[in-house]
């Protein structure tokens, strides 16, 4: 394992993690822009990717939207990988202050992470567009609750929409503010599994002004020139080798026992 990475983390006082699609690909969830990713899959629907997962398309053709969404963006069997698990342990030990993710799969929470800023929302949350009643992922995936594949509210009959940020929609202000605060207060930030090309989310990472910036990604990123350390490996592989890491100051209270 890279000893420089271990040393930086062991001496961190307030660590924050900023992650992208590469964190979830190791759990079997495809990314968006690779040759086998969702961008190319969408071409089979006769629409550009920006169009089919846009707010206006959802309103115009919810049947087509949900046909794609359920087949290509929901992975019920996906499980957390070593990256998710390691981050959850670090949070429990008290030196990881937050996870900021561009992913919508909820795997960080499955692994045990509590402070997670989901910049693009989550497939786990769904709301009626009319009465705002909440629905689980299981509800919208059950065809008994759908008409033409579109989930319908059982209280008012309105269309249920996933709480994910579609094209043409703004990011949630409270989530952005929380993520910005976590980044501003961090002395070390790890950016993993993202090339930092999706805005406005990627712009948050550019705002980091802490002591050490670590980039872990199989390809180049927009912040490589600013990084104190870059590692061109899968994020799960790298963090998995650090699962036993405990900063020197972190062994306190019950953890000492």
Among the listed residues 40, 84, 108, 120, the single catalytic one is 120
> Does the 124-164 domain belong in CATH 3.30.1600.10?
yes
User: Could you tell me the residue ranges of all domains in the chain?
Assistant: 3-29+77-120+170-249, 32-74, 124-164
> What pLDDT, on the 0 to 100 scale, is given for residue 51?
87
The whole-number pLDDT of residue 253 equals 36
According to the model, what pLDDT value does residue 251 have? 44
For the full predicted model, state whether its pTM sits above 0.85: yes
Residue bearing tokens 């670090």: 90
Q: Do domains 3-29+77-120+170-249 and 124-164 have the same CATH topology?
A: no
Residue 62 contacts residue 150 (beta carbons within 8 Å): yes
Q: Report how far residue 66's alpha carbon sits from residue 151's, in angstroms, rounded to the nearest whole number.
A: 9
| pLDDT at site 195 | 82
> Tell me, what's the pLDDT at 81?
96
- Residue 40, pLDDT score: 57
Residue 120 annotated as catalytic: yes
- The residues near 44 (Cβ < 8 Å, ≥ 6 apart) are none
Question: DSSP class of residue 218?
Answer: S
Distances in Å between the Cα of 67 and the Cα atoms of 57, 71, 72 are 13, 6, 9
**Domain 3-29+77-120+170-249 superfamily per CATH:** TPP-binding domain (3.40.50.1220)
State the 10-residue block means of pLDDT for the chain, 257 residues long: 81 92 92 59 67 94 94 93 95 93 96 97 98 98 97 98 96 96 96 83 86 91 87 92 70 38
Residue 257: the pLDDT is 34
């Amino acid at each position: 394992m890279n000893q420089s990475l271990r040393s930086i983390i062991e001496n961190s006082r307030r660590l924050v993690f900023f992650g992208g699609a590469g964190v979830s690909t190791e759990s079997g969830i495809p990314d968006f822009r690779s040759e086998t990713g969702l961008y190319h899959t969408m071409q089979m629907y006769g629409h550009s990717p920006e169009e089919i997962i846009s707010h206006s398309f959802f309103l115009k053709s919810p049947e087509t939207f949900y046909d794609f969404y359920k087949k290509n963006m929901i992975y019920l069997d996906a499980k957390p990988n070593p990256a998710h698990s390691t981050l959850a342990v670090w949070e429990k030990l008290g030196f990881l202050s937050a996870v900021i993710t561009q992913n919508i799969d909820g795997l960080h929470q499955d692994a045990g992470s509590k402070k997670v800023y989901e910049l693009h929302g989550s497939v786990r949350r769904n709301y009626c567009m009319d009465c705002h009643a909440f629905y689980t992922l299981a509800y919208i995936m059950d065809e008994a609750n759908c008409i033409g594949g579109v989930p319908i509210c059982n209280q008012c009959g309105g269309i249920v929409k996933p709480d994910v940020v579609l094209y043409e929609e703004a990011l949630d202000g409270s989530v952005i503010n929380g993520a910005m605060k976590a980044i501003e207060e961090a002395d070390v930030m790890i950016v993993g599994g993202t090339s930092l090309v999706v805005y406005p989310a990627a712009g948050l990472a550019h705002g980091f002004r802490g002591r050490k910036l670590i980039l872990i990604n199989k390809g180049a990123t927009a912040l490589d020139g600013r990084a104190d350390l870059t590692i061109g490996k899968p994020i799960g592989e790298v963090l998995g080798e650090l699962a036993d890491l405990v900063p020197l100051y972190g062994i306190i209270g019950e953890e000492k026992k």
